Chains A and B, each alone.
Chain A
Amino acid sequence: MGIGRVAIKRGINAIVLIGMVTVINFFLFRIMPGDPTTMMISPRMTHETRRIILHKFGLDQPLYVQFVRYIQQLLSGNLGISFIYQRPVLDLIVERIPNTVLLLLSSFIITVILSIITGLVAAWKRGSKLDISLIVFGLTMHALPIFWLGGLLLLYFSVQLDLFPVIGVSTPWLKHESVFSYVADVLHHLFLPMMTLGIGNIGGLFLITRNSLLDVFAEDYVTTARAVGVPSRTILFRNVLRNAMLPLVTIIMLRLGFIIGGAVTTETVFTWPGVGLLIYRSVMQEDYPVLQGAFLIITISAVLANFMAEIIYGYLDPRVRYE
């Protein structure tokens, strides 16, 4: 079976999956109690005005009619209009994707680099005090709620030491002389949330790196290499690390899929105007067109990343055969 046919098959699966999520997504928000229009309709309005507005948003139609309209709009790329912001949902989300990707991608790179280095050190010095300390550190980070870690960092570095700003992605009232000063301003704002997410997410990836390295260390070919006198550094980088990377790649690919979804808690703590903060506000105000749209986009990117991971995996690991 060729990889092309596999790709088609998986692609169809992915589309079916997205379709299912869309359906669940639609009904999930309709099950929620309460009349969504309470938020957008002024108590001053007459009954007639209310009826007209409900009609404009199609909310006076039976559920199945609303569903058909929703699907029709989706197919033409229209995610609906936000009740609160009164703007197209797609615009709202797309505007915030650059901020979210900047934060999540940079913090993700930090997580990957740090967890591979620490995982390597821990596995190499297995059983030493350093290893145990690293495990404790990794477990603690894994267990710590990220918003709590973020809050602490914010209180200490921003408020106490006054090193970083507390809100936003840049300083809008500053007039920047050059691109560099703008970039510096953004980096200044980015640093704390990036470190919070970067360090806060280290736990899981570190433990996986360490364990998969240890598994490979126990393989016969490593023992053989040692026996024939290959230098340990060569074994580590040439034989062990390369093979231990496989599970890591899977996890990295899967996590990449969620980058667009943002980090709700971190973005809220640092008032970082990304998709996560939008989701938080929309939950608070029950602005369900936005939630529906955001969930759909997150689903699509996660499914796509999954699909890519499967395809790439075939190339990386010769043991994987598509049959």
Chain B
Amino acid sequence: MAKKIGIIGIIVTIVLLTTSSITLVEGEQKYEYGGTLRFPVDQDNVIQPLTNVWNINLRIFALMYDRLVITDQYWHPIPWLAQSWEFSEDGKTITFHLVENATWHDGDPVTAEDVKFTYDYSLEHQTPYVVGPDGDAIESIEAPDPYTVVFHTKRTVGTSFIERLCTRVNIVKKSEWEDVEDPFTFYPTVGKGLTGSGPFKFARQESGQYLELAANEDYWAGRPYLDRLFSVVIPQHDMQLMAFEKGEIDIVWIRPADVAKFLGMEGVKIFKTEAAGFTEIAFNTRRPPFSDRQLRKALSYCIPRDFLIETIYFGYAYKNLHHLPPAYLDWVNPDAPVYEYDLDKAAEILDAAGYVDNDGDGWRDYPDGSTFKPELKCSSTDIDFRQAEIIAESMKEVGLNVVLESGSGMAFWDSIFNEHDFDMCRMGWTPDTAWPGEMLSWYTTSMAGVGGLNIRGLSNATLDAIDLEAASEADPDRLKEILYEMQMIIAEECPNALIIRPHALLAVYSEKFEGFENAIPFGPLSYLDMIGFMQLHLKGAVAATTTLLTLSVPSTGTTDEVMSVSATLTTEDGTPIEEVYVDFSAGGLIFGSAMTDSEGKAGIKYLPETEGDVEFMAEYLGSADYAACESDIETSSVSKAEEPGPVGPTPTPPPEKPDYTMYYVGVIVILLIVVVALFMRSRS
């Protein structure tokens, strides 16, 4: 969904390179069951598990339906409904072994027939989940026994088959779906499509009001701690904040500007996670002069990222220089060229390429002398528009007469995705699978058609060829080589200027619920974190042992230099506590969590963005065995990095919060004038 690939956040702090280990519930009850968690959505959830691809619905599907494979917080695949799988020698046959105790919400067993049906049916109707190279590769599917599914493929398939396809397709019940003619126009109802096999089951839905899910007490992987979930429909974000403040919902996603408001609120915690999503200026490489790589490069040097982060995101965003976000850890090619903010360099390239001012009007023209007036399109959403505005100003500084054009709704998205009618366009994207090659395949020719994700229209034969190779590569080392090369080609082609990666900010009532740390770094309730969801529980589990948490931070640091922060968790007599998560916060905002090692030590890295004192704190949220505890606050002073700081365009003052007193005074004054005027009239 074009529009929905907005900046709803997920993902990994750079930090957690350690292998993940997830303690699933699996029969062993650690906390008391119970509790109702309420979270906001901006419109009714549409439960069409095979065809709908909106973020707010993916979250629900992940809870109601099982998938063969799921991903953990660090985007590693976890065997789920398929407890194991093996590839044949030639890589053309994959055999999945299903768990044997999985049941549908109505009690029937989940069998290989259901899985086979789901994939066959999805392929027959070409649903969005199976469209793409992985789905195309499937030749036939067999179910030799109730717990074995065999996929035969036309070509060798690799990790992308598991991590991209199998983590996405929701398994539905054959008996409910087999006579559905058209999944795109079919609306599931109770007993007809809504029966899943996930940790939560459908309870009821009131149009325009809420969707209620109830815990699946017989879930094969152990029941979730929470009893009920409410997805409450509140269309306007301001109203969501108000409802949160009043305690009518338990968690809410907030904007950078709202952080200050919630920081001091009692019982409220703010989780900050780095989103995998990013924003960009896409160049329309289909039309001249943007087909000129030199021009695209010059423009890429014009993005004042630091300035944008400071003024628009209040510091809650990271610079984005690579085509794969750091969340993908070692899949990111560190040698790929980056385009840091450098107006001199931009001017140099433009001069060399012949974009000079010919007619003396102060603006650069085409090399052939005619007037050059590139247009920058952006959506009229406040934050998008201001971002584009600042970038346009910066481009004007190098002498390009950029015209800003904002739009919204169908007409806007239509002109970008279908008509490709733009010179430059500000866009935001979020990947929806863990497979690292996914985001890079968005630059291939096959995605450049009408409605495709490659709105830049980039077409590079080498890139297309190795993208297909990546989709069939099973060897991680070779895959890494391919992806490195893809990143190299894309960065060289420069089809877009990367801007920033915003943080996902989530405010929660931590007085009421615990367990959010298991959902970091994904950000709870983002659509891939079913695991995090299962760990959420009511606060107040009985703890046996008191604990101590000692924090150590470097006393000084510089901006743009990663600081190592660590904390040691022990019992009072000094015994280390292993394999539990410790949350780290800076200035009251939780920026990540890390697991303790055999010495009870958890380490994390922190990148200070601004100078000044940073107050660090570590916190352990407690378990059935160990009590929660907080460390003392440790301060370290951060100084400005040596390198000359980039200079942005003339700063615009940050927006002030509206002060309502002026409104009140205004109304009273107007009322007084009216009263006086009427009295005067009645006298005369």
Contacts and interface: CB of A to CB of B under 8 A. Distances in A.
Interface stretch (B238-246, B326-334, B548-556): B238-246
Contacts of A167: 232, 234, 239, 243, 248
Given A49-B131, A85-B46, A172-B206, A34 B187 contact: no
Nearest to A275: B208
Given A33-B411, A86-B46, A136-B675, A43 B234 contact: no
A101 B372 CA distance: 57
Given A38-B417, A87-B187, A280 B235 contact: yes
Given A48-B126, A127-B682, A34 B414 contact: yes
Contact of A92 (B207, B212, B243): B207
Nearest to A168: B209
A115 B232 CA distance: 37
Contacts of B660: 155
B413 A45 contact: no
B246 A273 contact: no
Interface stretch (A157-165, A211-219, A221-229, A303-311): A157-165
**Most B CB within 10 A of own CB, among A33, A42, A47, A284:** A42
Interface stretch (B17-25, B289-297, B446-454): B446-454
A46 interface: yes
A320 to B, nearest CB: 36
Nearest to B1: A42
Interface stretch (B36-44, B69-77, B85-93): B36-44
Contacts of B675: 136
B233 interface: yes
B246 A44 contact: no
A273 B209 contact: yes
A204 interface: no
A33 B410 contact: yes
Contacts of A159: 242, 245-246
Contacts of A43: 1-2, 5, 417, 447, 451-453
Interface residues of B, number: 61
B658 to A, nearest CB: 12
Interface in B204-258: 206-210, 212, 228, 230, 232-236, 239, 242-243, 245-246, 248
Interface in A75-106: 81, 84-87, 92, 95-96, 99
A12 interface: no
B209 A132 contact: no
B128 interface: yes
Contacts of A139: 674
A271 B235 contact: yes
A50 interface: yes
B132 interface: yes
Interface in B410-457: 410-415, 417-418, 447, 449-453
A166 interface: yes
Nearest to B410: A34
B156 interface: no
Contacts of B184: 53, 56, 86
A52 B127 CA distance: 11
Interface string B326-357: 00000000000000000000000000000000
Interface in B166-199: 182, 184-185, 187
Contacts of A154: 242
Interface string B29-57: 00000001010000110101000110000
A41 B185 contact: no
Contacts of B48: 86
B235 A34 contact: no
A42 to B, nearest CB: 4
Contact of B209 (A32, A47, A172, A280): A172
Given A39-B3, A172-B230, A273-B208, A136 B678 contact: yes
A307 to B, nearest CB: 30
A36 interface: yes
A268 B235 contact: yes
A138 to B, nearest CB: 11
B671 interface: yes
Given A46-B131, A50-B451, A86-B46, A34 B246 contact: no
Contacts of B679: 132
A46 B126 CA distance: 9
Contact of A273 (B126, B233, B418, B447): B233
A169 interface: yes
Nearest to A133: B675
B379 to A, nearest CB: 13
A200 to B, nearest CB: 14
Given A132-B682, A281-B43, A140 B417 contact: no
B409 interface: yes
Contacts of B185: 56, 81, 86
A35 interface: yes
A163 B674 CA distance: 32
Contacts of A168: 209-210, 232
Contacts of B453: 43-44
A173 interface: yes
A15 B209 CA distance: 35
Contact of A166 (B242, B449, B451): B242
A45 B207 contact: no
A63 B52 CA distance: 28
B678 A135 contact: yes
B242 A47 contact: no
B236 A268 contact: yes
Contact of B239 (A48, A271, A273): A271
B44 A166 contact: no
A162 B210 CA distance: 22
A11 B409 CA distance: 39
B34 to A, nearest CB: 13
Contacts of B411: 32-34
Given A35-B410, A38-B410, A132-B682, A271 B234 contact: yes
A18 B246 CA distance: 45
B246 A84 contact: no
B674 A136 contact: yes
Given A268-B235, A281-B235, A44 B207 contact: no
Contacts of B131: 44-46, 49
A167 B239 CA distance: 8
Nearest to A273: B208
Contacts of B3: 39
A296 interface: no
A155 to B, nearest CB: 8
A140 to B, nearest CB: 6
A4 B581 CA distance: 81
A41 B453 CA distance: 12
17 contacts: A32-B411, A34-B410, A38-B410, A53-B184, A81-B185, A86-B46, A86-B52, A135-B678, A154-B242, A166-B248, A167-B234, A172-B212, A173-B38, A271-B236, A273-B206, A281-B235, A286-B409
Given A56-B185, A168-B210, 6 more contacts: A33-B414, A34-B410, A38-B410, A56-B184, A84-B46, A139-B674
Q: Which 5 A-B pairs have the closest CB atoms?
A: A34-B410, A273-B208, A34-B411, A33-B411, A34-B414
